[in-house]
A and B are shown apart, each in its own frame.
Chain A
Amino acid sequence: MADYKYDHKVINELVEGTLEWYQIKNMMSSHKDAERFKVYREVMQERVSWDDPILLPLGLHLYIVLKENGDRIVKCDCGHEFCDYQENWKVHANIFIRDDEEKMNEIYPVLMAPDPEWQVIREYYCPSCAAQLEVEAVTPWYPVIHDFEPDIDTFYKDWVKLPLPEVKSK
């Protein structure tokens, strides 16, 4: 095992949210560890039940993974597959709109909630496991926001200088 600043156990605890505050504070205050992505990606791979190689963790439950045919897709940790990674996964999710006071009042007291005449709350769920993956507080009519389009190839090749993960042969 290489001599990493933070090993798999520590990074797994970081993901779990079980590190003590003083440990998090030390992480925040010290120089960033160049190998973090490598360790983190391996930790995230160990945490999911499927074998598709993770190219990039995209959100709390979401990953960009590599399929056998070379496709890069957005996948939920429950196994649900959304779409090509360059598409907006939200358009392939389920949506629930809080657009009246009764629906808003499940989350906030009425006066502390947005006024539906001005703003609605959109919740995006995984169609399989129903995890709430993203929340938008936008006006009516607002296009679904495509949050992030990563340049994966530049990231691996020029930035972290790591080979792209490959599908394991069966």
Chain B
Amino acid sequence: MKTIEEIQNKKVPIGWDGKTLKEMRAEIDRVSKETGYYAGLEELTFKEADPIRFEKIFSKLRGGVVHARETAKKVAASPIVEQEGELCFSLYTPEADSIVTSTGIIIHVGTMGAAIKFMIDKDYEDNPGINDGDIFCNNDNHVGNVHTCDVHTLVPIFWEGELLGWVGGVTHVIDTGASGPGSMPMGPVQRYDDGYQITCRKVGENDELSKDWLLESTRSVRGSKYWTLDEKTRVAGCHMIRDLVLDVIEEEGADNYKQFMREIIEDGRRGFVNQVKTMTIPGTYRAASFIDVPFEGLDLPKFAQQDSIIHTPSEIKIHKDAHLEIDFEGSSRWGWHPFNATPVSITSGIWVMLAQTLVPNDRINDGAYYASSFGIPLGSWFSPDDIRSAHSNTWHGLVAGWTPLWRGLSRGYWGRGFLEEINAGNAHTSNWLQGGGYDHHGELSALNSFESAACGVGASAVKDGISHSAALWNPEGDMGDMEIWEVLEPLIFMGREILPGSGGPGKYRGGNGWQSLRLGWGAKEWTMLVAGSGAMATDCGLMGGYPGAAGYRFSAYNTDLKERIEKRLPLPLGGDTDPDDPGYEKNLKAETINRDRQAVTTQEEFGDYDLMLNYLRGGPGFGDPLDRDPKEVENDLNERFILPRFAESTFGCVYEEKDGEFVVDLKATKEKRKEMRKQRLEKSVPTKEWMKEEKKRILNKDASKQVQLMFAESFALSKKFTDDFKEFWDIGEDWMVYEDDLNVTKLGRHINRFKDNQ
């Protein structure tokens, strides 16, 4: 029998108890804020009454989403998904709070939630309607995505006409049809360069994707076969999880499932608070990170051709009640580069990091979100106040912005004695080696080498960081198989080797990065680009350790390698072991050789026998290098983890080499280190004395333009940062650096506390 609403053709709300989704979202926010408990749950009645059943449901769902991910990824052809596991599935409440998530790129717990919240806020329930069997797609950066290449599939889960939740799946696609090839290209400086963006669009009904969507989407990107199979991966995974949830509801009943959803999130909130109290120390932790944007002279619009620095100060406050607050006040302004981010991406990424340190369990859901808060300055690089901002390579800034948070928490772990959990930070997970065109199979395609999923890990307080093994954004870091890359990319491996000394020196070394040397081969028309840290180290090291090494590029165009191969002459092979003593050039002639700090480039034509180096960065070190066990330095030398000359200048180790075998002289090392400590005191000055000299340089505005611009942006956006700066240096009211005085573009510089425009 039809209801009156149906006869009158009025839409019946799909939420619980006759509510709309918008009403449900508002109610959850209000009740959670008022009570301090998620959904006002002061007691977990289901969990307490029947804990085994509660955990059984959780295990079934958690196992199901992990299984769906593992199974669905085999559908994909893209090496980014199939080899590197750049996908993730998550299950949500009707209001878009995550209840359980798979392994993989779990940053998207937040971003897919943001997309569903966007649909709720924009009344999708009325138009275009949310129905059983619908399929939605989103990759719009400004909705809250990380970057355009992370494409979401979102599927509602209905039970007897009520919406009982959502399932979301995301894959990192290989190309988005941006102004440059690859998934995270250089070239975009505005949203309109970032590629094909889909804003929470209904792309299918009755579990079937619509033909107009399939045609339009595959014609909008390079590498359409990868795009198509990625979408099938996401849809397959979402439908597997939807089926699983419906089975659970059938078995447990809808009311129990509803109660479970609420309680598992509150349980996650309590678990997070407990971990903070168990492992850290209340107080304030401060740090800062920097990453270079060397755009002067690049092939970009004039207003984007400017050197600048992305500056991200962070202050972690752990309150008495273990509430975690992270404030990024003082961060740089957003800019005309593809490194901007959204608030959801920076905060969601923090959960990825916390899942590897503070909450290393499978209870990752939005409970932790309700136990923490963030200070995100509007107008900053991760909260642009202008929809024109580009985001294609957002990780450039994000991986730099997050790494100080490891160090902050590690100071707490050190104080409490949990030395085994300490991490000096993460590597800047670059280079991103990208390209596109007609490949060696004659197909229009693109590449983004995900070898960057295996960079050096930061050192801990009890052991060295692991080399070539991890990326912050995917806890399952994997460099992939060379043979697979060579099948899929028109590039042959000429070497794959650890780069000695790329990990930061310390009592415990940062894990080393490594290098792949790639030779162009077989593409019909192809362009390439690099994107990584160059002029700056993105982290500091911890408690006396040094940061991981900065970046550089090596590439060679129009080489003589064809002739050298024909004549069987020596070739450039292996790693670029010591860039101060270049080895490749000894076996190579080329019209153009780039060996410099310009580690971000726009696309350039790349042909057969051209060469490009992919340098994956190392992690920061822990502790004074002069405290390192000399026998460990001996091992570093023999394993080629460091270059011999740094054994003495950095680690104070005296050694002998015989037939390629290194032996450290323990007695001479002891003396050498004693002497080096003496030299430290001779060459250093009391910090207060140095401050007087540095203050003079500030007053005289003696710094490069990009450094002055960095401060001018932070001053313009933050009174607190300005006041703290001036108080520290004891500088008067009349001194200031303004953006307007630095001959930089005025475009996009909206929020400015020195102007009356707020």
Contact = CB atoms under 8 A, between A and B. Distances in A.
A140 B283 contact: no
B172 interface: no
A56 B413 CA distance: 11
A60 interface: yes
Contact of B552 (A27, A40, A107, A111): A111
Interface stretch (B31-39, B450-458, B681-689): B681-689
Contact of B283 (A40, A113, A129, A148): A148
B290 interface: yes
A139 B703 contact: yes
Contacts of A108: 501, 549-550, 646
Contacts of A28: 360, 420-421
Nearest to A34: B278
A94 B624 contact: no
Given A113-B550, A119-B535, A137-B537, A155 B282 contact: yes
Contacts of A41: 417
Nearest to A14: B419
A106 B650 contact: yes
A125 B682 CA distance: 11
Nearest to A107: B650
B292 interface: yes
Interface string B252-289: 00000000000000000000000001110111111110
A109 B580 contact: yes
Contact of A92 (B545, B681, B687, B725): B687
A116 to B, nearest CB: 9
Nearest to A118: B535
Contact of A151 (B283, B462, B549, B624): B283
B541 A140 contact: no
A60 B543 contact: yes
A124 B415 contact: no
A55 B688 CA distance: 27
A150 B282 contact: yes
Contacts of B50: none
Given A132-B626, A139-B703, A24 B462 contact: yes
A159 B276 CA distance: 10
Contact of A124 (B416, B502, B683, B687): B687
A158 B189 CA distance: 50
Contacts of A32: 278-279, 418
Nearest to A38: B417
Interface stretch (B439-447, B660-668, B690-698): B690-698
Interface residues of B, number: 95
A132 to B, nearest CB: 4
A42 B522 CA distance: 66
Nearest to B552: A111
A115 interface: yes
B677 interface: yes
B720 interface: no
B320 A158 contact: yes
B729 A143 contact: yes
Interface of A: 11, 14-15, 17, 19, 21, 24, 27-28, 32, 34, 36-37, 39-41, 56-61, 90-97, 105-115, 117-119, 121, 123-125, 127, 129-151, 154-155, 158-159
13 contacts: A39-B417, A60-B544, A106-B646, A107-B646, A111-B580, A113-B550, A123-B684, A131-B544, A132-B680, A140-B694, A142-B288, A144-B728, A145-B288
Interface of B: 277-279, 281-288, 290, 292, 309, 311, 320, 360, 408, 411, 414-421, 461-463, 499, 501-502, 505, 507-508, 534-537, 539-541, 543-547, 549-552, 578-580, 595-597, 622-627, 629, 643, 646, 649-650, 677-678, 680-681, 683-688, 690-691, 694, 697-698, 702-704, 706-707, 710-711, 724-725, 728-729
Top 8 A-B pairs, shortest CB-CB distance: A40-B417, A112-B549, A130-B677, A94-B684, A143-B728, A115-B535, A150-B283, A132-B624
